[in-house]
Amino acid sequence: MSQETSIRVHLFSHRVLLGITILVLLVGLVPVALSAANEGYVVGTVLDENGEPVTGMSITVQDEGKTAVIAETETDDKGKYRILLQEADLTYAYLLEKKGYAPFEASFAVAAGKESEMNITVLSKEAAKRGAPAMFNEGATAARNGDLAEAEARFKGAIELDPGLAQAHAALGQILLMQERNEEAAEEAQRAMEIEPENAAYLGLLRQALQAMGDKGKAAEIQMAMEQANPKVLASNSFNRGATLFESGSMKEARGAFEQAVAADPDHARGHYMLALCLVNSGEKAVAREHLEKFLELAPEDPDAAGARDMLAYLE
């Protein structure tokens, strides 16, 4: 009489836990003739998300450390497979791959001397890709909650589902950077840039990673490239530099930085305001008025708007 036992096995898509589970039925069949006490068979059917059999699905069995291939097979025209394990009671990693499908791995052990049935549902790449945004959002939520490990796992999962999701590469890079895993962060930033080369934010992430790695020369080159490619980046950087100089009392140098900021981005409201303060300090009231008026035109609700209006009245 056969005995059935149900266990749940977590699926990993390459390196990442996807949170998908499969049901494995361990069926002890007395009639199965095994040549050694430790041998066992794993049999089953591979189906797609629509319940259709997947033929020609490659199944590679590796040891738990993934240092050696134990067995290899493919599903037949009905999606079925059968694998003989010499040491069945050890934990093995089962990698399933076929063009057009998202690869994944199931890691588990079965009892020796028995035939174990494992029926697996795999996702086509199109179906997997549709799940990537949801996993990305889960990663973003984890990041906001400060759970970096969970965020990393979810962003990696999103990338496995959709390798072309640039935001996931960049978000993963940011999480790695926060953990001071700077080389890995730089790699993810580069992958994001390969997908969306015009996105300056990804270039900025790469610059941060390189700077953290101590490669200041390359970081400076990227900084210059960012500023040349996007005037708003130049404006933002110039403004930040000006603010630091202003706070230190270096008014002349701060003025130059704020002038560079508004030249690069004429709609940089705070740049106009801070430049006006520098001009007031140097006694150039007429030009200061122009920048205060531009500031109020661009940001009438800014917290400093009331002070700017008072200053305009004073400068009349």
**pLDDT value at 293 more than 90:** yes
Residue 8: Cβ within 10 Å count: 9
Question: Rounded mean pLDDT of 186-213?
Answer: 82
β partners of residue 107: 93
Least confident among 58-67, 117-126, 176-185, 291-300: 117-126
The yes-or-no verdict on residue 218 having pLDDT over 80 is no
247 pLDDT tier (thresholds 50, 70, 90): confident
More confident residue, 14 or 113: 113
Q: Tell how far CA 213 is from the center of its chain.
A: 20
The whole-angstrom separation of Cα 314 and Cα 311 is 5
Residue 137 has pLDDT above 50, yes or no: yes
pLDDT at 11 exceeding the cut of 50: no
pLDDT above 90 covers a percentage of the chain that reads 34
At 66 the pLDDT is 87
**Average pLDDT value over all residues in the chain:** 81
* Structural domains of the chain sorted by starting position, each given as residue range(s) with its CATH number in brackets: 4-123 (2.60.40.10), 127-229 (1.25.40.10), 232-315 (1.25.40.10)
For the ranges 16-30, 93-107, 297-311, which has the lowest average pLDDT?
16-30
Which backbone phi and psi does 159 adopt, to 5 degrees?
-65, -40
Q: Cα torsion for 23, 29, 32, 38, to the nearest 10°?
A: 70
Percent of the chain predicted with pLDDT > 70: 84
Please tell me the predicted confidence (pLDDT) of residue 221: 75
Least confident window among 14-18, 75-79, 142-146, 209-213: 14-18
Average of per-residue pLDDT across 108-117 = 84
- Each residue's pLDDT tens digit, 82-104: 999 988 888 999 999 999 988 87
Q: Read off the pLDDT of each residue in 28-39 and give the average, rounded to a whole number.
A: 52
pTM above 0.75, yes or no: no
Residue 106 sits at φ, ψ, to 5 deg, of: -115, 130
The pLDDT value given to residue 5: 33
Judge contact between 185 and 209, C-beta under 8 A. yes
